[in-house]
Copies of this chain bind each other. A is one copy, B any other.
Amino acid sequence: MAENRILDDVSHRRFNPLLNSWILVSPHRTKRPWQGAQETPSKTTLPEYDPKCYLCPGNTRATGDAMPKYESTYIFVNDYSAVKEDQPDYTSKSSEDNDPSSLLLQATGVKGRCYVITFNPSHNLTLADLPPVSILPIISTWTSLYSAHLPASHPHYTPPPPHLGLAPPKQQYSYLQIFENKGAAMGCSNPHPHGQAWCTTGIPDEPSTEFHNMSEYKQKHGRPMLLDYVNLELTKRERIVFENATWVVLCPYWAVWPYETMVLPRREVHCLPELTAGEKEGLAEAIAVLTKKYDNLFETQFPYSMGIHQAPVDGSLWEESFLHLHFYPPLLRSATVRKFLVGYELMAEPQRDITAEQAAEKLRALRGDEVYRKYLE
């Protein structure tokens, strides 16, 4: 703890080995005076069913398609997808090696498919409101979606189960990014609990950088970086938020967002289909506990972006991949005071005030078995 107490008081940079980047930490700034108003806990005022919600069972979407009367989760292709399955091929022509135009104006076409995944038929039940047993079907749906996008020859390939109503992808995609935006602060206008998954040709930048750095670490040190990391944190015990027999939730040493967390398995796992039944239950518990703690922190619907990083769906980079979840929440001091990534952060380097250790301590102390809204009732 001695080293840690030093970092509670000096400005410093921390290294992110996953992205090979740095972040500026200014813990002394937490001592400046705040004039923030005390906010009252927010209650749930949403109905269980909203006739105007395009995600509620039985309702009609803008395109005229109807949502079935689904009872657990439901998947459909986004009506305004960021990528399309059918379009002409495109690659910017590159001439000689020394030509500025081919060096500086590089583009390549991207095909893909964007899914929306509803988590629950109830309009007003977020992940934080659900017990682990109700989060399990969401994990199964993510897993089925992933498996259905693997090459048919892959050991983990399974065709999409009929109840999902999923048409097989028209071609082999490279990466499937599963994520959730929660709350207006994260640009999500519909409170109905849902996430997304975009599959694309080509591996996007962020996972691609992670694969590169994880691969280098494994080659040099003979062990998976994130397995080393989770074991290290289990001995340090300064940044752990929650743990069970199969998973660890922690504030990474290099966290950028005030209450950023990672959810890590205790063994080397490359993708969702590799999880045992027990590990899926463990993950459901970890998500249930973490999202309840988040809501309890400022007694509000805690906004965040969540994403799952795992092996590409084209079967490549298997040994370099390590399944993990990121939660990036913007709130800083209350239900309305958020962190902005602007100015110095965009131009120079991300910056934070409270340390990852201080954030983990706060999250650890909160109840993870029930959400504050239940006590208010």
Contacts and interface: CB of A to CB of B under 8 A. Distances in A.
Contacts of A38: none
A104 B22 CA distance: 12
A229 B344 contact: no
A198 B28 CA distance: 16
Nearest to A112: B11
A375 interface: no
A311 to B, nearest CB: 14
Give the contact-size bracket for chain A.
35 or more
A108 B349 contact: no
Interface in A135-180: 175, 177, 179-180
A25 B105 CA distance: 14
Contact of A221 (B10, B98, B179, B232): B98
Query: Which of A24, A225, A253, A344 has most B Cβ within 10 Å?
Result: A344
B305 A90 contact: no
Contact of A110 (B13, B206, B221, B343): B13
A365 interface: no
A349 B206 contact: yes
A68 interface: no
A45 interface: no
A20 to B, nearest CB: 9
A27 to B, nearest CB: 10
A263 to B, nearest CB: 13
B104 A181 contact: no
A18 to B, nearest CB: 10
A29 B112 CA distance: 14
Contact of A11 (B62, B82, B204): B82
A328 interface: yes
Contacts of A3: 92
A252 to B, nearest CB: 9
A344 B198 contact: yes
Contact of A342 (B82, B105, B206, B305): B305
B307 A346 contact: yes
Interface in A51-102: 62, 80-84, 87-88, 90, 92, 98, 100-101
Query: Lowest 10 A-B CB distances belong to which pairs?
Result: A307-B347, A187-B340, A204-B348, A204-B349, A15-B106, A181-B343, A100-B228, A26-B82, A177-B348, A32-B80
30 contacts: A6-B90, A7-B107, A10-B90, A10-B109, A11-B83, A11-B111, A12-B107, A22-B204, A22-B205, A24-B83, A25-B107, A26-B82, A28-B84, A32-B80, A100-B228, A103-B221, A104-B225, A177-B344, A177-B347, A179-B343, A181-B342, A186-B342, A204-B348, A205-B350, A206-B347, A305-B346, A307-B348, A309-B347, A326-B346, A328-B342
Given A11-B112, A13-B110, 6 more contacts: A12-B110, A28-B84, A177-B348, A198-B344, A207-B347, A307-B346
Interface of A: 3, 6-7, 9-15, 17, 21-26, 28-29, 32-33, 62, 80-84, 87-88, 90, 92, 98, 100-101, 103-112, 175, 177, 179-181, 186-188, 196, 198, 200, 202, 204-207, 217, 221, 225, 228-229, 231-232, 236, 253, 305, 307, 309, 326, 328, 340-344, 346-351
